Chain A
């Protein structure tokens, strides 16, 4: 495994993304900053949105939103970008011997870095408003790694399929939109009908990690270990399945690119 090549891909990804812009990599900070600003200032102060069942603090709902949305954005970006990465980099795959799995891996790393920047800013905000969750914070990297393994598995799966069927990319976007609204990201589980709440526990792996972040940031307690262990199983099963599919179809992928 060529680690330096992976890091170079990641670095290049950031360079490409902001190449030609005057502020450059500063944009990687501006975007999450604006998002945090909108949710906190607008929701908390202008709209005075309150979290049902929350502690009643001004910032409960913004923290609820941001603690769910930041990981979700990393999750979905990883999946959508992985699903097109083979086609985007076909000019390399056509000319140079390159392990296929490197490409989605660098997407995962790149999105992780983006998340880390945004997350650090979010921590800064929490520290400023004195709402840091304390030692539970140590669980965040663990949850995030699990989440990204899951995203990597799904992205790899869609990426392989997308080589053969370009519609997969569009389907992924639509499925992720549905997934976004069916997961309690902007809404609170308490306002949803009973069946939808139950669904979250049984078949929505996204909610398992989203809820875990909320447990830490909103409720300041230990995440649901049971749900997380289910996530461990699902994430690795998906990754293993995608891996076998990749190995099985590798020759065809290279032929088709």
Chain B
């Protein structure tokens, strides 16, 4: 169990380190202040995974350093009921001139293991790293992936209460990454806590129980990974908005599983300027009935009633379908489809009608709607007027007449089996 209470950390930036001494002696200020973390609190209980996301420089590394005890916080305190290890110590205490075996001993000792524990774990570490005879060779002969294997093997065998998973894991090859993930899941199943720091938002949504969004050292959002990741993406969208009115980010309420009304009015989208309103969003089946359930492979019509409160010279409309984990299964917009929707004047209302054949695998989906103005590039907009996820739910049921398959959607494969006229020789 890990508990962080009101952690704040400011770095005093000096032009050179000696200014710190000058400051002590002359009692004058020679620094500027950078607030790296401000009042960060969280808790990870046993067996739980907490995801920490944020842009570069948001304070993720500083937070990790404080948790591992490498840096001391200005205020607040950290309670960890044991050891915290992870790949962020990749190569630490690793001496490139020593063999893998010697480094196991040295590194394990640095992590605080006793001689007896190291002896007991040695074989397991060697077996897990799968370095073969290289374990007897100096580390300077290793590839970075091999160093990572050794580092991971030691870190996970050091009996941590919390394991930090970060991008360093991606140094390993696909096979070893899989092996690491399995081991991490096992660790979690046995009551270990995991701190997951990644820019891979799909991984955050799939692996974490809770997520924390850091921005400029402050926790600006915390909650279910899906909601927090949406918030994070909304931050990007709002950053690419160049309109006159600033866009506001409205965190949606975290009730997803309750049945939403069949048609909805959204006045405060996830991202938006407030100049565009979604009056109604309706789903219809082939029989023109309002629906919330649909059988896979059947036609779907999505109707969005959109009202603009100002003139839009190049409006474009976007649609998206996301699965239960918040992963986008399909998204596009009129600009990407090469359409030129007519300009709108203030007060005008339009109906945007989308037609699909929903060949998705059975499951719960949600609809995303966006409205932008003045497109550029491959699909960006200078003005993001309306953007919201999870506007309505759509439950897709298995179509018993279709083929059985797994994955995301039915690609409608065809298959032919025939006998070759000439026998094909296996490759030499």
Contact = CB atoms under 8 A, between A and B. Distances in A.
Interface of A: 2, 4-5, 8, 12, 15-16, 19-20, 91-98, 161, 163-167, 250-252, 254-256
A161 to B, nearest CB: 7
B347 interface: no
B17 interface: yes
A96 B68 contact: yes
Contacts of A8: 105-106, 109
B159 interface: no
A95 B112 contact: no
B331 interface: no
Contact of A95 (B18, B74, B88): B88
A188 to B, nearest CB: 40
Nearest to B111: A96
Per DSSP, chain A at the interface is helix
Contact of B72 (A12, A95, A165, A251): A251
A2 B112 contact: yes
Contact of B69 (A5, A97, A252): A97
Contacts of A254: 70-72
B143 interface: no
Contacts of B177: none
Contacts of A92: 92-93, 110
B85 to A, nearest CB: 9
B18 A164 contact: yes
16 contacts: A5-B110, A12-B95, A19-B97, A20-B97, A93-B70, A95-B88, A96-B110, A164-B17, A164-B20, A165-B18, A166-B17, A252-B12, A252-B20, A254-B70, A255-B11, A256-B20
Given A95-B88, A255-B11, A16 B95 contact: yes
Contacts of B20: 164, 252, 256
A19 B89 CA distance: 24
Interface string B65-100: 000111110100000000000001100110101100
A195 B394 CA distance: 97
Nearest to A91: B92
Contacts of A96: 68, 70, 89, 92-93, 110-111
B29 interface: no
Nearest to B24: A249
A91 B94 CA distance: 10
Contacts of B111: 96
A91 B91 CA distance: 9
A19 B102 CA distance: 13
A4 B80 CA distance: 23
B115 A4 contact: yes
Contacts of A250: 72
B377 to A, nearest CB: 40
B109 A97 contact: no
A255 to B, nearest CB: 6
B403 interface: no
B55 interface: no
Given A95-B88, A96-B89, A164-B17, 6 more contacts: A12-B106, A96-B70, A98-B110, A165-B18, A165-B21, A254-B72
Contacts of A12: 95, 106
B262 interface: no
A256 B17 contact: yes
B21 A161 contact: yes
B206 interface: no
Nearest to B88: A95
B119 to A, nearest CB: 12
Q: Which interface residue of A8, A96, A98, A250 has the most chain B CB atoms within 10 A?
A: A96
